[in-house]
Amino acid sequence: MDHLDSFSDELLRSFFDELRLDTQNFLHAATPFDETAYRTNVAALKAKPLPLQGRPLQDVIHDIRGTILPGSIHQHHKNYIAFPDKGSYAAAQYAAMLSAFTNQNLIADAKSAPTATYVEMLVISWLRELIGYKTSSGIPAHALDLGGAMVTGGTLANTLGLLGARQHAYPESKTEGMMALRKTPKIFVAGSTISHYSHYGASWWLGFGTDNVVEVACDSQGRMDQTDLSRKLADSLSRGAQPVAIVAVMGDSRTNTLEDLPGLYHISQRFGVWLHADACHGGVLAFDQQATTAGKHILSYADSIAMDPHKQLGAPYSSSVILFKDPKHLAAIGSSTDITIARGSSDIGQITPFLGSKPFDALKLYALFEALGVDGICKSIHARQQITKHWHTLLAESEHFMPLHTPDLFAQAFTLKPGRMNADQLSEKNAQLHDTLYTNGTVVVNKFSLRDYRNLLPYGRGNKITCLGSTIGSDAYTDDDLRAMLHVLEQTTTDIG
Ligand SMILES: Cc1ncc(COP(=O)(O)O)c(C=O)c1O
């Protein structure tokens, strides 16, 4: 078997030459998607027999080059605006590659991740410091006081926030299991098309049950209607249920609308309920030290926060974080029940629920912090907000399109102008435009259903349509770039008639 450590310098050089070639071709692709290559590649993969005999590395590389890379999506491409997950920030990519080569396992300190353990502890501490969660400076002396962890994906980060809420509400559930949930638990989430499916998934996986997820009405800005929330909290208490958590979306996936977290905090305090912030998109606000209310960073109002640097910070997958305001809440749900883990251990695997072996994802965040600094990241966020506002204006001025909200962050949902179409016809037309664009591969946008909470369409407030979605995933867009994309959207609209 070819192990890299047995390679001569010469072999290593040609190994990296191959990698460079694939990276170069992939990064410099002319369009974000090649539909023909995709169809050919998938047909070949479906027909592929189980490889009984191995092949030389060079053949494997050629196979991957021909049958997988051409049909893959190029999220880094400027004309890919479906999701923000660019993943192509150079420092983070370098760190990701090194993380694979160095193969540190952050389950434990000394034998599997000496040094790397302290990188994760450092980036978690930096994030806590930015948000204002942190009370003392520097890395804590032991893992139990860290108050955060890198995890694989925002879905898991949200699940861990709600696990913290469950442990807080039902401390006996650790030993008694579901029998400890003597009162029916209730989880409060935003209305449909704003809440994320992971809020329902987590409620199921954690034993709350999806029937106990309460949807709160959305106001005319797509935020939780706080009067409705208070009423529903009071109602569930009066029925003998136990409100366990409010999930506030700090930037939903479709419109990136930011909740009024301080406002929700006051309600959560009044009812004694945990406040979890799904900040998978809005977690970048941690770097904006002006994002404060009453002298405190807005994110600091949450008891737990899920963040996804792989969405908004240019880090490749996976790069997700869960933070707890009070570190003891993470320690309380830590993986290990082994009391021999003395305080003083820096085995961060012990405080990371659901995971065993754990990759060195922290290196990507470390490289980002070092390369840009807090100031650089903040400037980049502000630049992207400005570009998104400009994109909003261009869409609003367009003959064919209309934006469906004013952007808080980087996402802009939009639709073809309704004209005389009814809601179904408009949805169908938007879907057709999306599919044609995807097949052509020149500009890739998203498609999803959205409730018109802002009442901008002629179908009644809150009516659901299928619309188009876009996200400005980097600060490198110029006015020309945006106009060129809009031109493709308009031309394709004309072509489909
Ligand atoms: C608002 C929101 N929360 C959570 C998630 C889940 O994140 P991940 O895909 O990293 O699991 C997403 C992903 O789209 C999201 O948009």
If you search the block for the tokens 């209607």, which residue do you land on? 225
3-state secondary structure 401-425: EEECCCCCCCEEEEEECCCCCCHHH
CB distance 85 to ligand 1 below 6 Å = no
* Region for 222 from its dihedrals, namely left if φ exceeds 0, alpha if ψ lies in -120 to 50, beta otherwise: left
pLDDT of residue 24: 97
Rounded to the nearest whole angstrom, what is the distance from the C-alpha of residue 167 to the centroid of ligand 1? 23
Q: What are the residue ranges in the chain where pLDDT is below 70?
A: 1, 135, 337-343
230-242: burial string, b at 16+ Cβ within 10 Å, e else = eebbeebbeeebb
Rounded to the nearest whole angstrom, what is the distance from the C-alpha of residue 308 to the centroid of ligand 1? 8
pLDDT of residue 138: 84
Per the CB < 8 A criterion, the answer to whether 104 and 360 are in contact is yes
Of 198, 203, 278, 321, best ligand 1 pocket probe by most atoms within 8 Å of the beta carbon: 198
DSSP string, 433-496: HHHHHHHH-SSB-EEEEEE-TT--STT-TT-EEEEEEEE--STT--HHHHHHHHHHHHHHHHHH
Q: How many helices (H) and strands (E) does the chain have?
A: 15, 13
Residue 278 alpha carbon, nearest atom of ligand 1? 3
Judged by DSSP in three states, 293 sits in: strand
Report pLDDT digits (tens) over 22-79.
999 999 999 999 999 999 999 999 999 999 999 999 999 999 999 999 999 999 999 9
Determine how many CB atoms are found less than 10 A away from the CB of residue 476.
13
pTM (predicted TM-score): 0.97
How far apart are the C-alpha atoms of 179 and 199, rounded to whole Å? 22
Of 150, 152, 155, 197, best ligand 1 pocket probe by most atoms within 8 Å of the beta carbon: 155
Contacts of 481 by beta carbon, 8 Å cutoff, 6+ apart:
78
pLDDT of residue 214: 98
If you search the block for the tokens 């001569």, which residue do you land on? 8
Beta partners for 450?
465
Per the CB < 8 A criterion, the answer to whether 305 and 277 are in contact is yes
Kindly state the DSSP code that residue 304 receives in the 8-state scheme.
E
Residue 318 alpha carbon, nearest atom of ligand 1? 10
Q: What CATH class has 98-370?
A: alpha beta
pLDDT of residue 343: 62
How far apart are the C-alpha atoms of 160 and 183, rounded to whole Å? 21
Question: Hey, whose CA ends up nearest to atom 7 of ligand 1?
Answer: 154
141-167: burial string, b at 16+ Cβ within 10 Å, e else = ebbbbbbbbbbbbbbbbbbbbbbbbbb
Judged by DSSP in three states, 223 sits in: coil
Query: Hey, what are 70's tokens?
Result: 């051409």
Burial of 59 (0-12, 13-18, 19+ CB in 10 A): exposed
Question: Hey, whose CA ends up nearest to atom 14 of ligand 1?
Answer: 253
CB distance 34 to ligand 1 below 6 Å = no
pLDDT of residue 333: 95
pLDDT of residue 142: 85
Report pLDDT digits (tens) over 86-110.
999 999 999 999 999 999 999 989 8
CB distance 415 to ligand 1 below 6 Å = no
pLDDT of residue 5: 93
CB distance 154 to ligand 1 below 6 Å = yes
Question: Hey, whose CA ends up nearest to atom 5 of ligand 1?
Answer: 154
Rounded to the nearest whole angstrom, what is the distance from the C-alpha of residue 310 to the centroid of ligand 1? 10
Query: Hey, what are 385's tokens?
Result: 């907000």
How far apart are the C-alpha atoms of 104 and 363, rounded to whole Å? 11
Rounded to the nearest whole angstrom, what is the distance from the C-alpha of residue 463 to the centroid of ligand 1? 24
pLDDT of residue 239: 97
- The domain segmentation of the chain, as residue ranges, is 98-370
CB distance 320 to ligand 1 below 6 Å = yes
- Torsion sign, CA atoms 115, 132, 353, 315: negative
Of 162, 196, 259, best ligand 1 pocket probe by most atoms within 8 Å of the beta carbon: 196
